[in-house]
Structure 1
Amino acid sequence: MSLAIARLKQDLKNKQVIKIIAGLSNFDVTNVIKTVKAAEISGSTYVDVASNPKLIKILKSLTNLPICVSSIDAQELYNCLLAGADILEIGNFDVFYRKYIYFSVYQIINLVKQVKSFSKSKPLCVTIPHILSLNDQIYLVQQLQKLDIDMIQTEGYINRSQIISSMSSPILQAINLSSSTLSSSYILSKYTKMPIIASSQINSVSAPIAISYGASGIGICSALKDLKSIYQKVDYINQMKFSVSSCRAMSNSFIQALTKKI
């Protein structure tokens, strides 16, 4: 086991995973490198990039951070594995939602079995589609647990009415934008022991909520898109890390205080 993957397992255990998503359809090498370097400087856990073998090879020569690739194409994931990808993820459903293409529970399970056949000892993550009913999400998670998946990721969605209705309160807006992934994380954490990564519109306000709701870490993407320099990205990631670590520290303090009273 590499030191990077050992760090991933430790961060999952400590519920302090910071996953930096460079953009799963982002093939701008310069832009991706900036994001990856920011993730490395800030001490993030791992990065998630487009499933492109050439991109993987470039990044592997520049960073020691674990590289994750996301796709719903088993062949793409296999090619990236050969190129050096450290973590495989079945996901990146957003591209298909826009085309009104949706994946059923059974399609995802069959895809997981395909990827498991060649993923060997590489960590495997599966995104739980937000378009599924909560009952179907729970059923999917239970089946994934039987298949020994390493971790799952929740996702969410936003619409114009959410943004407009919460414009008067930045804090409420921040929570509202991530409410879908937060609610899925909360419910699914009750039905599985697999680590959960909360992603989709997570920010410094909603990050600690995700952890308190049972997530083992967060995925950061949209908040970094408008930040041009590496140092701006580093500063934002550090804010997120502080939010997550603060939540964990507060939880530990609460548990200690409760134990003393008992």
Structure 2
Amino acid sequence: MNPSSICMPTSPSSSHSLLKPNRSSLLGVSLVPLKPLLSCPVKRRGHCLTTTRAILSTSRELVLKDFQERRALKIISGLRNLDRHNVASVVTAADKGGATHVDIACDPELVRLAISLTSLPVCVSSVDPSEFSPAVEAGALMVEIGNYDSFYELGVVFSPEQILNLTRETKRILPSVPLSVTVPHTLSLPDQVKLAELLEQEGADIIQTEGGKCSNPIGSGVLGLIEKATPTLAAAYSISGAVKIPVLCSSGISSVTAPMAITAGAAGVGVGSAVNKLNDVVAMIAEVRNIADSLNVSGTSKAAHKDKSLMCNQIL
């Protein structure tokens, strides 16, 4: 989808060795909700549908569990990042560093790559709801409307009405798949809170904040890191007090400010450029580990789940 067809320009002028696949995915589930039903005998199709819904419900609960426990750490490779090597490095870093989720571009091939490298839930990001279904069929367990930073660089912003429409369409297409929606920092804090409340009413499961792109820290070191995270921390504090669903504090977050996000009311943090801009997978793993440790997120708590399948010929 052409971003300019749904967004508004801000100005007229803005026109390795560690990459070893484990080939497992959460629950061993391949989310293909339609094909299994087609393979079932007509007399058993109702049974298959009931079983499919039960497995989808279980998957949904597991994907959202870390958010509900306020310990989520989502590592983000980037909405427009289609570099397989970089994405593989980011996914590996998330897996080895102790993250709870990984967020990649909404591309089925990248999803298949990601689930060959990690058992973490894979989230895909897009601003085009029609792109989600193929990614979910490939194995993504969560979808995200957001990660708008790359569009800001093009002079493009999203209005509340556009985001609400994208949310409604996504819920229409994938009503059972966990949905996260980013509230843009281009809105004032009161307007961010209002949009978050409306998104909750539309069925969003998670609200994600942002703000790193609008922050211009003056200080260096720890002071600079805190200044960098101030806008998204403020959004997390304001929004978490207004909605009942989890809030993920993202953009400009580091190991210094991740615990502050939790204190501010967030259910977890999303980290992008602090990891995906590093050139070495070992450095990426170390950074993820630093952030995970700051949140007391233990990678060892991720016990292996029993393999399940949605294929009706295995359910019968």
TM-score by length of 1: 0.85
Say whether the 8 Å CA contact 2:93–2:284 is kept in structure 1: yes
1:251 counterpart residue number: none
Paired residue secondary structure (2:156): coil
State the one-letter code of the partner of 1:190: G
1:156 counterpart residue number: 211
Paired residue secondary structure (1:137): helix
2:64 counterpart residue number: 9
Alignment partner of 2:285 out of 206, 213, 234: 234
Mapping 1:111-190, distance limit 5 Å: 111-158=166-213, 162-163=216-217, 165-167=218-220, 170-190=221-241
- Counterparts of 2:117 and 2:212, CA distance in 1: 33
Deviation at 1:203, TM superposition (A): 0.2
Q: Deviations over 1:182-210 (max 9, x none)?
A: 10001111101110111111001111110
State the one-letter code of the partner of 1:222: S
- Counterparts of 2:152 and 2:282, CA distance in 1: 33
1:51 counterpart residue number: 106
2:149 counterpart residue number: 94
Mapping 1:30-45, distance limit 5 Å: 30-45=85-100
Moved more, 23-32 or 186-195: 23-32
2:162 counterpart residue number: 107
Paired residue secondary structure (1:23): coil
Say whether the 8 Å CA contact 1:4–1:66 is kept in structure 2: no
Deviation at 1:43, TM superposition (A): 2.8
**Closer, same or farther: CA 114–242 of 1 in aligned 2, 3 Å:** same
Q: Deviations over 1:52-89 (max 9, x none)?
A: 12211222233221111111111122332232211111
Paired residue secondary structure (1:178): helix
Deviation at 1:6, TM superposition (A): 4.2
Say whether the 8 Å CA contact 1:5–1:66 is kept in structure 2: no
- Counterparts of 1:236 and 1:103, CA distance in 2: 31
Rg larger for: 2
- Counterparts of 1:63 and 1:242, CA distance in 2: 20
State the one-letter code of the partner of 1:189: S
Say whether the 8 Å CA contact 1:4–1:65 is kept in structure 2: no
Structure 2 spans left out of the alignment, 5+ residues: 1-54, 298-316
State the one-letter code of the partner of 1:243: S
**Closer, same or farther: CA 101–229 of 1 in aligned 2, 3 Å:** closer
- Counterparts of 1:236 and 1:4, CA distance in 2: 28
- Counterparts of 1:212 and 1:117, CA distance in 2: 34
State the one-letter code of the partner of 2:235: S
- Counterparts of 1:46 and 1:233, CA distance in 2: 15
- Counterparts of 1:182 and 1:140, CA distance in 2: 17
Alignment partner of 2:257 out of 185, 206, 215: 206
State the one-letter code of the partner of 1:109: L
State the one-letter code of the partner of 2:222: I
Match status 1:219 vs 2:281: no
1:195 counterpart residue number: 246
State the one-letter code of the partner of 1:229: D
State the one-letter code of the partner of 2:231: S
Moved more, 203-212 or 217-226: 217-226
**Closer, same or farther: CA 120–29 of 1 in aligned 2, 3 Å:** same
Say whether the 8 Å CA contact 2:123–2:141 is kept in structure 1: yes
Deviation at 1:19, TM superposition (A): 0.3
Mapping 1:73-92, distance limit 5 Å: 73-92=128-147
- Counterparts of 2:212 and 2:72, CA distance in 1: 22
Moved more, 57-66 or 196-205: 57-66
Question: Higher relative CO (CA 8 A, sep ≥ 6), structure 1 or 2?
Answer: 2
Say whether the 8 Å CA contact 2:60–2:177 is kept in structure 1: no
**Identical aligned pairs, as a percentage?**
38
Moved more, 137-146 or 175-184: 137-146
Residues matched between the structures, number: 242
